[in-house]
A and B are shown apart, each in its own frame.
Chain A
C-alpha cells in the first residue's frame, strides 16, 4: 500500500527544494522524495507532470462556527471546504457558542474533528473568558487540551493591562498569541473603510487608524513582555509599516493578511453587496499596494483566509445590519496564485506563506515534505481557469464576493496523512 506522486515540480520551502521529483507515501507518512522513485508496494500513482507538489497548505485563520452556529458551518463542512481549497490543516478561532475558552470546548472540537473532519483541525482558545476582554481564560488547560494558540479574534482585548497579562501568562506556557488588533472606540459602529468611497456612500466609517493604533499597542506590549505576537488580518498602509519597523528593531512580531486584502478595494462596496462587508474593512488602492509590498518584503509572513461563513439570515439584509465576514477557504489559493502571476511572490515564497511560516508561528509539526513527516500534501494545478461558483462551495455558507470571478489555478489533489481527500 503505497502512493507515488510522479514528475511533479516539488516545492518545499522548509528545505529549499524546488525540483522535478517523485514523492513516495506509505502508511500516512512521506517515505521518500527523489528522482525516479519506485517501490514494490505502489498501489496508486498520481502523474503530477505540469503540477506543483507542495506540503499540505495550512490556513491558520478560519471560523468553523461549531459548536453553536452549525447553520453557518460545521467542522465537517468547513473541513470539506478546506480540502477543496487545497488545505490539509486549518486553525479555527474561538468565537463559537460557547466560546472556546476552556478545555472542554477544545476537546469537543478536537473529538468532533477526529470523527468528522477530512483535514487536520487545530483549535485556537480564547485569551479572555467569553472573549469579554476582562479575565484570562484557563490558558494552561487550553494548551494541555490541544489548543495551538490563543486569540480573542473577532473582538479586541481593549484593556491594555489585560492584554499585557495575557501575553505574560501565555509566555509561561509558550502559547502563541494571535491579535485581532482593532481600536473599537475608533471603529465604533463603522461598516466600511473611511475614505473616498464612504464619503460618497454615507456608510459609517472604520478609519484605518483603528487597526494601526491597536497594532502599535500590541507590538509594544510584545516588546515589553518579550512574548511574540501574531497580528491577524493586516490590511492597512499603517499597520504594514508599523510591523515592518518593529521587525527591523527585533520585536518578535509576525503577521498575516487575507486574500481579499490584496484582491479587492473599498471601491467594490459601491454595489452595497454585503458579502464585501468584512472586519477589518476593504481598504484603498494604497492599502492594497502596501499589503502586496508587505508580502513581497516578508513583513507579512502568512496568507490566511479568515474564512467567516454567514448564512443569508445575516447577509441578505441592509449593509448596516449585515454580519462582518466572507468565506475564503475555497478561493484563497486561486486568489493567492495571482501574486505569482504579478511577480509579487515567487512560487516558493507563496508556498512558504501557506505552509512552513504558519507552522513555525504555531509551533506545529506540519508544513514540510521531509522523510517521515505526515503525508499532508497539496498538488496544485497552476494553469486551469476557474470561474468561481459559490453554489458549488462545500462550505455551508455562500457569502463570497468572488462569485463569478475568473481565476487561474486551483488545488488538483489534497492529501491528508497519505489519503486523497479531494481531487479535481
Chain B
C-alpha cells in the first residue's frame, strides 16, 4: 500500500487506510529516534524545503529534524507572506524554488488554501504545515499517533476539543481525522469561538466545559491567541480561564485515565492551569516527540511517489 496523492494538503483528502499506513510507518520511525545514531540513509540525496510564511519554532524544527534523521538535505526558508512587502507572489516563489528541483516542500502559510496552490502548480510533493485556520494535517496525525499509542485505538473514543475552534487549523484537522477513524468528537468553548455551523461537521457542541468533559477519553486544549483578548471574542483572559480553562476541578469530572493534550505553545494559566500541565495524564511532550516520527513517516512515504 502507498499514499494516493503526491501531496498532503488536507485530512479530508486521505482515507482511513492511508492514515493507518502513516501511523504504522511512524511506529518504526519512532524507534530510529531512540537509537544512539539517530540517522538512516533512506532519503539521502533528497532535498526538502521548509517554506514558512509564518513564524514557527516547534513545527519547523520537527520537520527539519525529521528530514535530517532520514538523511535528506533540509533547507529552511522564512518568507514574508505579504506580497506587497515582498513583491513576489506565492506562485512565483513556488516556481523559483521548483527550479532548484526540491523533492518535497513543507509549507506553512497564513492563508487557507495556499499550499493547495503550490500542490497544483509544482511537481514537488507539498506538505501542508498549517494554512491559516484551514488545516494542520501533520498535527492531527501526531495527535492520532499519541492517542493510539496510549489508548490502543482511536475508534470509539470520546475526544473533547476546547477553545478557539473557529480560528484553529488544529481543531479542523483533528475533527476530520478523528471522525474518519471512528471517534466521537465534542467541542467546547465560548459561542464566539465555535462556528455556528460546527454541528454540520459531525461534532457536538457543549459550551459548559464541566459538562463537556464527562466521559471524555481525551481532552485537547487549544491555544488562545492572546491578541484576541478584549476585542469581540472574549472580554478578558481572566474570565476565559475561569470558564473555559482546564483546571484540576474541571478534570475531576472527566473519566479515569483521561489524556490531556495541547498542540503548543501553551499559555500557562490561561487554557490550562499549571498543576494540570504537570499531571500524569498530560501527554504534551509525547505529542512533540511523536511529531518527529510521524513527519519522518510522511516524508518517507511521499518520497516513494
A196 surroundings in chain B (CB, below 8 A)? 197, 200-201
Chain A CB within 8 A of B114 CB: yes
B200 engages A318 (CB within 8 Å): no
Interchain pairs with CB closer than 8 A, number: 61
Which of B89, B91, B132 sits near A202, CB closer than 8 Å? Answer: B132
Q: Determine how close the nearest CB of chain A comes to the CB of B119; give it in whole angstroms.
A: 11
Which bracket fits the contact residues of B?
Answer: 20 to 34
A201 surroundings in chain B (CB, below 8 A)? 112-113, 134
Which of A194, A195, A316, A319 sits near B111, CB closer than 8 Å? Answer: A319
Q: Which B-chain residue is minimally distant from A191 (CB atoms)?
A: B112
Which bracket fits the contact residues of A?
Answer: 10 to 19
Within 8 A of A (CB), among B181-215: 195-198, 200-201
Chain B CB within 8 A of A321 CB: yes
A223 surroundings in chain B (CB, below 8 A)? none
A246 surroundings in chain B (CB, below 8 A)? none
B195 engages A321 (CB within 8 Å): no
In the bound complex, CA of A165 to CA of B197 (Å): 39
Prevailing SS type, chain B contact patch: mixed
In the bound complex, CA of A94 to CA of B169 (Å): 39
A316 surroundings in chain B (CB, below 8 A)? 89, 91
Q: Determine how close the nearest CB of chain B comes to the CB of A403; give it in whole angstroms.
A: 15
In the bound complex, CA of A194 to CA of B134 (Å): 14
Which of A199, A319, A320, A321 sits near B201, CB closer than 8 Å? Answer: A199
Prevailing SS type, chain A contact patch: loop
B132 surroundings in chain A (CB, below 8 A)? 202-203, 320
Q: Which B-chain residue is minimally distant from A200 (CB atoms)?
A: B201
Scoring B residues 121 to 155 as 1 if CB is less than 8 Å from chain A, else 0, what string do you get? 00000000001111100000000000000000000
Chain A CB within 8 A of B109 CB: yes
Known: A199-B195, A202-B132. A318 touches B201 (CB 8 A): no
Interface centre among A195, A199, A202 (most CB of B within 10 A): A202
Chain B CB within 8 A of A317 CB: yes
A202 surroundings in chain B (CB, below 8 A)? 112, 131-135, 167, 169, 172
Q: Which A-chain residue is minimally distant from B200 (CB atoms)?
A: A196
Q: Determine how close the nearest CB of chain A comes to the CB of B96; give it in whole angstroms.
A: 15
Chain A CB within 8 A of B116 CB: yes
Q: Which A-chain residue is minimally distant from B12 (CB atoms)?
A: A200
A272 engages B133 (CB within 8 Å): no
B91 surroundings in chain A (CB, below 8 A)? 316-317
A320 surroundings in chain B (CB, below 8 A)? 110-112, 132
Scoring A residues 111 to 133 as 1 if CB is less than 8 Å from chain B, else 0, what string do you get? 00000000000000000000000
Which of B117, B134, B196 sits near A203, CB closer than 8 Å? Answer: B134
B131 surroundings in chain A (CB, below 8 A)? 202
Chain A CB within 8 A of B83 CB: yes
In the bound complex, CA of A319 to CA of B90 (Å): 11
B111 engages A321 (CB within 8 Å): yes
In the bound complex, CA of A318 to CA of B113 (Å): 7
In the bound complex, CA of A199 to CA of B199 (Å): 10
Within 8 A of A (CB), among B154-187: 167, 169, 172
B109 engages A318 (CB within 8 Å): yes
A272 engages B83 (CB within 8 Å): no
Q: Determine how close the nearest CB of chain B comes to the CB of A206; give it in whole angstroms.
A: 13
A318 surroundings in chain B (CB, below 8 A)? 90, 109, 111, 113-114, 117
In the bound complex, CA of A318 to CA of B89 (Å): 9
Q: Which A-chain residue is minimally distant from B111 (CB atoms)?
A: A318
Within 8 A of B (CB), among A315-342: 316-321
In the bound complex, CA of A203 to CA of B111 (Å): 8
B113 surroundings in chain A (CB, below 8 A)? 201, 203, 272, 318-319
B197 engages A199 (CB within 8 Å): yes
Q: Determine how close the nearest CB of chain B comes to the CB of A214; give it in whole angstroms.
A: 19
Interface residues of A (CB under 8 A from B): 194-196, 198-204, 272, 316-321
A-B contact pairs, 24 of them (CB 8 A): A194-B196, A194-B197, A195-B197, A196-B201, A199-B195, A200-B12, A201-B113, A202-B131, A202-B132, A202-B167, A203-B112, A203-B113, A203-B132, A203-B133, A204-B133, A272-B113, A316-B89, A318-B90, A318-B111, A318-B113, A318-B117, A319-B113, A320-B112, A321-B83
What 8 A-B pairs are tightest by C-beta distance, nearest first? Answer: A202-B133, A272-B113, A318-B111, A202-B134, A320-B111, A196-B200, A199-B195, A199-B197
